[in-house]
Chain A
Amino acid sequence: MSSTSLSSPAVGTFTPEAFAAHLAAQPAHAPAWWLERKRTAHARFAELPMPGPTDEGWRFSSRETLTLAGFVPSTASAATGAAVPLLLSVEQATAALTFCDGRLVSRQALPADLAARGVVVGTLQEALRSHPELLREHFLSQPQKLGSEKFAALHAAFVNDGAFILVPKGVEVRDPIVVTHASSGAGTAVFPHTLVILEEQARAIVVDAFLSPDAPTPVGARAGAFACGANDLYAGHGAQLTYVAAQRWSLDTLSFQLNSTVVRRDARVQSLNLHLGGRQARHESLSQLQAPGAFSEMLAVTVAGDTQEFDQRTLQIHQAPHTKSDLLYKNALLDRARTTFSGLIVVDPDAQKTDAYQSNRNLMLSDDAEANSLPGLEIQANDVRCTHGATSSRIDPQQLFYLEARGISPAKARELLVFGFFEEVLDRLQHEGLHESLRQLIATRFH
């Protein structure tokens, strides 16, 4: 029994009719496998139930607010670049792509020398023609293990376009490649995607920015917007990827962001997630350390204010010996915000000499805020070093007084102390200009 009624809460806006319209809008050059994957994904999406009260992967998450109804899939929207808010300005970008409501609206081309060396900063739609085999191999090809199978399927069914970034063997791209995914908001559903492939010994910095203008109405006053994004990061042998995802959706957005990172031999991936926007924002991050010498550094900074809810689920899988992962997620909670961090380190039986670390730190700035922490370990090898921990702390009143005694207002003093709390994370980002851009973006949550 697979038929689904049009008004089913399990599909909401994303009905078979809406999907048929989406498929019909795919370009003529779209290969059969692309369309077939979409069909399979939509069937899977419709078939899977919404997260239920006993789903372990959704412990502490609000489920009654996970509505799929009332949004307009991005296929129906006529996107223009006009609505894109410029909240993140990254100077000296090597190349840039800007999508609004799932359509490319502007681009800054790569310098000629990098293009000549085979670097590609393009769209998924372009890659369907130029790099179909690479796309097929890497696009949404990793398992979903953290609870959002349904939303991953929804993304796969409705994703229209996104970034396709390829850095060939031995090429280094020094300055950031910046991808902006904007939503015009007001009931829009978007499915941002970024695929990054770094071949052997390649290096790059990629920034994903997720932006939409804040609605003038208060949070919760209307259905809001919907964002269901995913990324695939692949670091080949000896490659070094720095990846920043800066999420500053409007405060009425329901957001899912599903990350997959594959780290090959001697490769290193540093990912930093900035969680700032959204009414309810769930982030799932999977790092697979597949060969010796692989290192994944997983960082996140969250400012949770108003009645925002942030839900972070992470998985560090050590599949080979001599692999390393280091996770540090820091949340600052204000007002009546809620956060949930659930992290698991898995060490496979032959992944000896694994070095894994996981830490979640919460700074509570309000008595009405709530931080949940669920750290976990699953170790099947016997010669490993795994540590994890979670802490919650408050602003130190002595520090606050010290700042105030210098003439700094209590509000500004709190902001400084929150930035101080985040600095340990931001400081790990080597690129100075990027660091400053992110600080400015974080500051938008305080003014």
Chain B
Amino acid sequence: MSSLEIRDLHVAIDSKEIVKGLSLTIRSGEVHAIMGPNGTGKSTLSKAIAGHPDYTITQGDVLLDGKSILEQEPDERARAGLFLAFQYPSEIPGVSIANFLRAALQARLAEGEELDATAYYKRLYQKMDMLKIDRKFTSRSVNDGFSGGEKKRCEILQMAMLEPKFALMDETDSGLDIDALRIVSDGVNALRGPGLGILMITHYQRLLNHIVPDYVHVMYDGRIVKSGDKTLALELERRGYDWVKQELAAAAPAPATTHA
């Protein structure tokens, strides 16, 4: 059983504070969704946890299995078991998906140990079949000229191959039509299990119809202001984010909520 604990996290970009004291604990097997209006710090949160150099953590901590990861470089965090599914995955011309994933898996092996190429391709093809990705894609450059849906499927393929302990999925539903959304969701659902904790960041409720979360948190102005189960997402869908804003205005700012 692993845990990812975000403790009173404050994150700034260019000295402007975006995340303002967020606490949340995710355990293996759990799926948490963070919902919230645009510009509220959802993407900042995921990139900061992954170690993006543009984001500065000014206060708080992030612990993986009780150990702070903030001193680790992005590649070390990834090898420790974190996976960021990007909202806008980079295009890498000239680097094939096969070589890219091979390098990523090789990086997880001990010095001098070589990846078993036959087993690797067997597993790669199996995961591609699951995500309905044409096997010809292995020799295509990473995300280069991909459609929105292809890019997101490629993210899930990487997640399937790298088997992280925790996945931070940033707006995975954005840019997907309903068919692509179904394929991506089926892929994520297939990966769900006791060994994987998921933090899904989404603006819309529709993704949560396909990937049903255990917990739903509402993020507003850099903090979690409301938490609940999947019914909270439905309520948000019905009543809109203004409902949360009005509630907040009526009361004093709610304290950050931690889910046990």
Contact = CB atoms under 8 A, between A and B. Distances in A.
Question: Does B associate with A?
Answer: yes
A420 B158 contact: no
A407 B73 contact: no
Interface in A396-432: 396-399, 401-410, 412-413, 416-417, 419-424, 427
Nearest to A401: B52
Contacts of B158: 406
B53 A397 contact: yes
Contact of B94 (A405, A407, A410, A423): A423
Contacts of B240: none
Contact of A401 (B74, B99, B100, B104): B74
A407 B77 CA distance: 7
Contacts of B86: 402, 405
B78 A407 contact: yes
A397 B92 CA distance: 12
B228 interface: no
B95 interface: yes
Contacts, number: 80
Interface in B89-137: 89-95, 99-100, 103-104, 107-108
A417 B99 CA distance: 11
B75 interface: yes
Interface string B78-89: 110001101001
B50 interface: yes
A403 B50 CA distance: 12
A70 to B, nearest CB: 40
Contact of B74 (A405, A423, A427): A405
Contact of A419 (B52, B78, B94, B108): B94
Given A423-B95, A424-B94, A403 B100 contact: yes
Given A404-B74, A407-B107, A407-B108, A420 B89 contact: no
Nearest to A410: B75
A417 B78 contact: no
Contacts of A398: 90
Given A406-B100, A407-B104, A408-B103, A420 B75 contact: no
Contacts of A407: 75, 78-79, 104, 107-108, 162
Interface residues of B, number: 28
Nearest to B76: A407
A417 B141 CA distance: 11
Nearest to A424: B94
B149 to A, nearest CB: 18
Q: Which of A397, A403, A410 has the most CB of B within 10 A?
A: A403
A138 to B, nearest CB: 37
B166 to A, nearest CB: 13
Contacts of B99: 416, 419
Contact of A420 (B78, B84, B95): B95
B103 A420 contact: no
A402 B50 CA distance: 10
A404 B78 CA distance: 8
Given A407-B79, A409-B107, A420 B162 contact: no
A407 B100 CA distance: 11
B70 to A, nearest CB: 16
Contacts of A401: 52-53, 74, 90
A421 B94 contact: yes
Interface in A242-277: none
Q: Which of A399, A408, A419, A421 has the most CB of B within 10 A?
A: A408
A402 B85 CA distance: 10
A396 B75 contact: no
Contacts of A416: 92, 95, 99-100, 103
Nearest to A398: B90
Interface in A283-316: none
A408 B107 contact: yes
A406 B73 contact: no
Given A402-B86, A404-B78, A405-B84, A412 B103 contact: yes
A189 B138 CA distance: 46
A424 B141 CA distance: 11
B104 A408 contact: yes
Interface string B15-34: 00000000000000000000
Nearest to B108: A407
Contacts of B75: 404-410, 413
Contacts of A424: 93-94
A394 to B, nearest CB: 15
Nearest to A418: B94
Given A410-B73, A412-B103, A416-B103, A405 B95 contact: no
Contacts of A404: 51, 73-75, 78
Contact of A412 (B73, B84, B89, B107): B107
7 contacts: A402-B89, A403-B92, A404-B75, A407-B78, A407-B108, A409-B75, A421-B94
| 5 tightest A-B CB contacts, nearest first | A420-B94, A423-B94, A407-B78, A402-B90, A420-B95
Given A406-B107, A407-B162, A416-B95, 6 more contacts: A401-B52, A406-B78, A407-B78, A412-B107, A419-B94, A420-B92
Interface of A: 396-399, 401-410, 412-413, 416-417, 419-424, 427
Interface of B: 50-53, 73-75, 78-79, 83-84, 86, 89-95, 99-100, 103-104, 107-108, 141, 158, 162
